[in-house]
Amino acid sequence: MSRLSAVWLLLFAPLIAPLAARAQTPAPAPTDSLPAVVAPTASSEKLSESVPVPAPSSKPPGLDFNFFAAEPGSTPSADSAVKDANVDELSKKRRHRLEIHQTLGIATWILMGASCVVGQLNYNDLYGGGSGRGSYQMPHRLLVYPTAALFTATGIYALLAPTPYQKPLRFDTALVHRLAAIGATAGMLAEVALGFITARQADAGNPSGLKQMAQAHQIVGWTTFGFMTAAGVSWMF
Give a yes or no: residue 218 inside a domain: yes
79, part of any domain: no
- Summarised one tens digit per residue, pLDDT across range 11-65 is 555 555 555 555 555 555 544 444 444 455 555 454 445 555 555 555 555 444 4
Domain residues for the domain of 160 are: 93-236
What is the pLDDT at residue 58?
A: 53
What is the C-alpha to C-alpha distance for residues 116 and 144, in angstroms, rounded to an integer? Answer: 9
Q: Is residue 220 part of a domain?
A: yes
Q: Give dist(CA 116, CA 96) in Å, integer.
A: 30
State residue 153's pLDDT score: 95
53 within some domain: no
Helix (H, G, I), strand (E, B) or coil at 31: coil
pLDDT at residue 22 in the model: 54
Domain-located, residue 82: no
Q: Cβ distance 181 to 155 under 8 Å?
A: yes
Is 77 contained in some domain?
no
Query: So what's the pLDDT on residue 156?
Result: 94
Residue 67 has what pLDDT?
Answer: 38
Tally the domains of the chain: 1
55 lies in a domain? no
**Mean pLDDT confidence for 158-167:** 82
Is 192 within a domain?
yes
